[in-house]
Amino acid sequence: MTSPNFSPLILLHMLLNSYLHLSAYSSSFVCDPQQRLALLHFKQKFTISNDVYNDMECERQSGSTSGSNPKMTTWNVSTDCCRWDGVTCDSMTGDVIGLDLGCSKLQGTIDSNSSLFLIPRLRSLNLAFNDFGSSNLPPEIGRFASSLTHLNLSNSIFSGRLPLDIVHLSKLVSLDLSINHFDSVHPQFFNKLFKNVTRLRELSLRYIKINSTLPSNLSSSLTSLDLSGTQLQGELTDDIFNLPNLQKLDLSLNIALTGSLPRVNSSRNIPLRLLDLSQTGITGDIPASISNLGSLEVLNLYDCKLSGILPRFLGNLSHLVTLNIKSANIGGMIPSSVTSLTQLVTLDLSDNYLTGIPASSNITGLQRLVQLDLSRNLLIGVIPSWFSLLTSLEEIHLPSNMLSGVIPSGLFKISSLEVLDFSYNKLEGTIPSEFTLPSLRFLMLDNNQLVGRLDLLDEDLIPQSFLQLVNITYIALGHNNFSGVWGLDILLSILTNLQGLDLSYSGLSVVTTNVNQSVNPEFYALRLASCKLTVFPEFLRSAKQLSVLDLSHNDIHGQLPSWTGEMWMDSLSGFDLSHNFITGLHHHLPWNYLLHLILEYNLIEGPFPLSICKMNFIQIIDLSDNNFNGTIPNCLGYFKDLVMVDLGNNAFHGTFPMINGCEQLGELNLNSNLFDGRLPRSLAKCVALEVLDVGNNQIDDEFPHWLETLPKFKVLVLRSNNFHGSITSSRKTDFQFSKLRILDISQNKFSGTLPSKYFRNLKAMMNVSDEETEENYTKSPIGWKIYYHTTVIMKGMSYELVRILTTLTTIDISNNLFEGSILDIIGSLMSLKVLNLSHNGLTGHIPYVLGNISKIESLDLSWNQLVGEIPQQLTALTFLAVLNLSQNHLEGRIPQERQFNTFDVNSYLGNPELCGFPLPKKCENNQETYQNSVQPDDSQDTESAFTWKEVMLGYGCGTILGSVMGYLMLSTGRPKWFNTLADAAEDMVNSRQKKRIYVYIRK
C-alpha cells in the first residue's frame, strides 16, 4: 500500500506528464498560417548557389567542416513552419519570432514587396553569408521597429544606400551590417543610431564606409564595437575607455585614424578583453597605463607606427592570450616580464627592430604558448635554452635574424611542435643527432652555417631521424655546409606526406634511380640547385600540383623530358634549369601561369619557344647563354607583367619587337646577339626600366636620348654596335639619367664633344655611400629575388655582374670619335669606380679635378691627343689599381707618390716627353719640375707652396732642417742643385723598393 506521504509527488508527476503531452501536441500546430504562407513565398524568390567563398567563410566562422547549410530545403507545406530548419516560433502564440538563414546559400534579391516583412513580431533575423545580388536593403526593414532585437546581415552582398530606417529599430541589442557594399554612411547615421537605439550592446560595421570621426555619443551599454576597415578619421581619444561595459573594441584597418594609444584611467575597473588597433595611424610609445587593462586577453597593435621599446609592464597583463605587435617599429630587448605571462597562447613580435631575447632560464610563464613568431628582427646572440621548456609549442618562427650558435637540442624533443623555422640566420654546429618530432610539418633550417654529415644511405647517421618525420610536409636545408648523399627514392617512399623539399646549395648530393615514380599528388616545390643531380627526376610525373622547380647548377644532360609537356599546366609558377647541359626543349611548354622561366647557361638550340607567347603572366624570361637562333616573335612586346628579359649570348637576329604595356619591365638584356635595326622607341614607356644592355650586336641607331625621361634608369650598355652621331639631350626633364650608375657606349661611332649636360646630371655617381651595398633586385610574388645583371669592362677585363651592387659606378666611352677636352665636371663624380675615355680624339690637358674622384679604381685615358703634365692631384687616388695614360702627348716628370709608385711602364708608353720612374728616361737636371697646367687662374701661385719634394726633404732631414732647405729653395727660384738632389733621392727610393720586393719574394 502506498504511503500517504508520497501522494503529492505522484499527483505532481501526473500533472507534468499531461502538460508536456498537451504542449507537444499543440506545438505541432502552433505556426500561424499566414506567416507560414509568407515564408513559403519568401523561399520561392531564391535559388541555392554554389558560392565557394561563402562556404569557406561559413566554415571558418562556425568552426564546423560542413560550412554552409541550405536550410530552406527542409521547408514544405506538409510540415508545420515551426519545425522548419532556421525557424523559431513563440510557443504560446504561434508567431515566428526567429529566422536564422545564415550560411544558407541563398541567391536572389530582397525588394520592398518581400513577404519577409509580413512577419510582424520577428525578434531575430540572421541573413548572413548569402548572396543578395548587390540589391538594396529595403527601408521596410523599419517595420520591425517594435520587435527586432538581433539583426545580422553580414557578408550578404547588399549595396546601395544604407536605409536610415535602421535607426528606428529601437529595441536592437545586436546589429551586424559588416562586409557589404553599402555606400558611404552619412555621419548622422551614428548620432541617430546611438540616440534612438539605447539598448545596443553589439555593433559591427566592419568594412562599411563611414569616412568620419569616431562618434562621441557611443552607447554606454555597448559590450562589443567593431568599426574595423570603415575609413575612420581623426584622433583617437582617451574617452574610448570610458565605456563601462565595453569588452571588445576593434578599430583596426583605419589608416587615417591617428593619435597616440589612449591612456587608461587606473581608477576605473575596465572590463575590456579585446583591443585591436592594428593597421591604424596610431603613433608614439606604448603607454604604461595599458597595464591597467587587467582583463585584457587580446592586444593587437599589428602594423602601427609606434616607436620606442617593448615595455616591461606588458608582463602585468596577466590574462593575455594573444599579443600581436608585429611590424610596429618597436626595438630594444624583449623584456623578461613577457616570460611571466601564464595565459599567453600567441606571441607575434615579427617585423620589428628587436635586438635580443631574454637569456634567463628562470621563466614562470609561457607554458601555454602555442605560437611564437619573432621573424625578421635584428636579434643577435644564441637561441635561449629555455625555449626547450615550452612544451605546448606548435609553431616557432625565428627566420631572418642574426642569431648564432647552435640549435638547442631540446627543441627537437617537443612532441607538439609542428613548425620550426630558423632560416636566414647564422646558426652553426650540427643538427641534433637524435630527435623525435611526430607532429612536425615544416622544418626550415636553410640559409645558415650548419655543418655535419647527413647521409640517407647510412643507417647509423643522423638522417634516419628525418625518416621518422612521418607528418612532415616541407623540408628546407638549403644554403648550408652539410655533406653526404640523399636518395630521393628512399626519402619519398617513406615520407609520403612530403609536399616540398629544398636542398639547394646545402652541400648535399642528391641521387635517384628514377625507379620510384610516385610522390604525394600535392607535392608543390622541389629545389635541388647545386646538388650534383645527373638526371631529371621522374617522380615529378605524379606531382600534379607542382608550383616551383629549381634544378639549376647540376649535371643534367640531354633533352627536357617529353612528358613535361603535359604537366603542371595550371600550377607551375617557377621553372629554373639554368647551368646544366640541356640540349633541347620540346615544342610545347604548357605552363599557362608560369612567372619565371630561367634556362640560362645550357646548350639549347633552335628558335625562340613560341609557346612562351601563351604564358600571359610571365615575369622573367631568361634564355641567355644558349644556342638559340632566329627572330623574336612580336608577342614578346605585349606582356604586361614582364620584369626581366635576358636573351644575351645567343644568335638571335632581326629587329627587336616594339614594347607595349611594359610598366613593370626592369631589365632588358640582348647582349651578344645579331640584332640590327634601331632600338624600339616604345622603351621610353617602360617607366620601371633600370637596366638596358644591347651590347655586342649590329644595331644602327643614334644615341637613345629618349631614355633620359625614365625615373629609375641605372644601367645603359650600348657597347660594340653601330651607334653614331653626337650625344645631345632632347629636352629638359626632371631626370636626364640622374639615377645612371653604369654607362658603357664604347666601340661605336659616336662623335662630337663629350655631353656636358648629361655629365652634370649624373647625381647617382656623385655621392654614393660605401655603406650602400645592397644588391639591386626586386622580389617576385613567389618569393624569388630577381637580380638584374649585365656585363661590364673593369680594369681591362670583362665581368658578368650577376648581382649589381648599388655602389658600382662605371663610365666607358672608349673607342669612339669624341673630340675636345675632358670635362672638368667629371671630377665631381666622386663615387666613380671605373672611367675609360681611351681610343678617342680628346685633346687638352688632364684636368687636375680628376683627383677628386677618390673612389676610382681604374682610369684609362690612353690613345688620345692629351698634352701637358700629369696632374700631381692624381696621387690622391689611393684606390687606383689600374692606370693607363699611354699613347698621348704627355710630358714632364711622372708623380712619385702613393699608388703611382705601383704602376709599371705600360701605363705611360707612347709619351716620349715623360720622364721618371718607371720609365727608363731620367728627368734632365735643367728640366722644369711639375706645375699644374690646368689650374684655374686663382690657383696659379702653387709654386709658392710646399710641394712633394720639400715634404720628402722634411722626412729625410728632419722637420726643421727640411723647412729651412725648402725656404732656401723657394727664395732662390728652385735651383738646379735641388733637381739633382731630387733625382738622386728618387733613384735611392726606387732601388730600396726593388730590394724590398726581392726580399719579400724570397721570404
pLDDT digits (tens, 9 = 90+) for 371-384: 999 999 999 999 99
Can you give the pLDDT at residue 800? 58
Compute the average pLDDT of residues 174-192: 88
Q: Examine the pLDDT at 419 and tell me if it is beyond 70.
A: yes
CB 658 within 8 A of CB 680: yes
pLDDT at 793: 63
Residue showing cell 599579443: 323
Average pLDDT over residues 389-413: 95
Q: Best-predicted range by mean pLDDT among 371-380, 753-762, 771-780?
A: 371-380
> Residue 677: CB partners within 8 Å, gap ≥ 6?
654, 655, 656, 699, 700, 701
Could you read off the pLDDT of 343-369 as tens digits, one per residue? 999 999 999 999 999 987 778 889 999
* Chain position carrying cell 603613433: 283
Which grid coordinates are listed for 803?
Answer: 648581382
Q: How far apart are CA 439 and CA 421, in angstroms?
A: 14
For 272-325, the pLDDT digits (tens) are: 999 999 999 999 999 888 888 889 999 999 999 999 999 888 889 999 999 999
Q: Is the pLDDT of residue 38 over 90?
A: yes
Lowest mean pLDDT among 716-730, 815-829, 890-904, 944-958: 944-958
Asked if the model's pLDDT at residue 787 lies above 70, the reply is no
Largest distance between two CA atoms of the chain: 153
pLDDT grade for 68, boundaries at 50, 70 and 90: confident
Question: What is the pLDDT, as a whole number, of residue 18?
Answer: 43
Q: How many helices (H) and strands (E) does the chain have?
A: 9, 66
pLDDT on residue 931:
39
Confidence tier at 702 by pLDDT (50, 70, 90): very high
pLDDT tens, residue by residue, 71-128? 998 898 888 999 999 999 998 888 999 999 999 999 999 999 999 999 999 999 999 9
Instruction: Tell which residue, 653, 699, 696, 704, has the closest CA to residue 672.
Output: 696
The grid coordinates listed for 476 are 628546407
pLDDT at 978: 38
Residue 943: other Cβ atoms inside 10 A: 13
Lowest-confidence region among 21-30, 416-425, 431-440? 21-30
Instruction: Dump pLDDT digits (tens) for 235-279.
Output: 988 888 888 899 999 999 999 999 998 888 776 788 999 999 999
CA separation, residue 439 to residues 254, 412, 473, 644, 646 (Å): 39, 11, 10, 41, 44
Give the rounded distance of the alpha carbon of 150 from its chain centre: 44
- Least confident window among 44-53, 102-111, 201-210, 568-577: 44-53
SS3 state of residue 966: helix
User: CA distances (Å), 965 to each of 345, 896, 952, 954, in order?
Assistant: 82, 20, 11, 9
pLDDT reported for residue 516: 67
What single DSSP character describes residue 233?
B
- Tell how strand 674-677 and strand 605-607 pair up: unpaired
Q: How many degrees, rounded to 5, is the angle at CA 505 between CA 503 and CA 509?
A: 65
Q: What is the mean pLDDT of residues 462-484?
A: 88
Higher pLDDT, 890 or 55: 890
Phi, psi of 667 (to 5 degrees): -140, 135
Give 171-198 as a 3 state SS string: CCCEEECCCCEECCCCHHHHHHHHHHCC
Please say whether the beta carbons of 709 and 730 come within 8 A. Answer: no
**Residue of 782 and 97 predicted with greater confidence:** 97
Residue 672's pLDDT is what? 96
At residue 490, does pLDDT exceed 80? yes
Cell 729651412 found at: 964
Q: What is the mean pLDDT of residues 772-776?
A: 45
- More confident: 586 or 76: 76
Q: What is the mean pLDDT of the chain?
A: 84
pLDDT value at residue 552: 96
Res. 164: pLDDT tops 50: yes
Q: Looking at residue 937, what is its pLDDT? A: 40
Nearest to 408 by CA among 416, 390, 454: 390
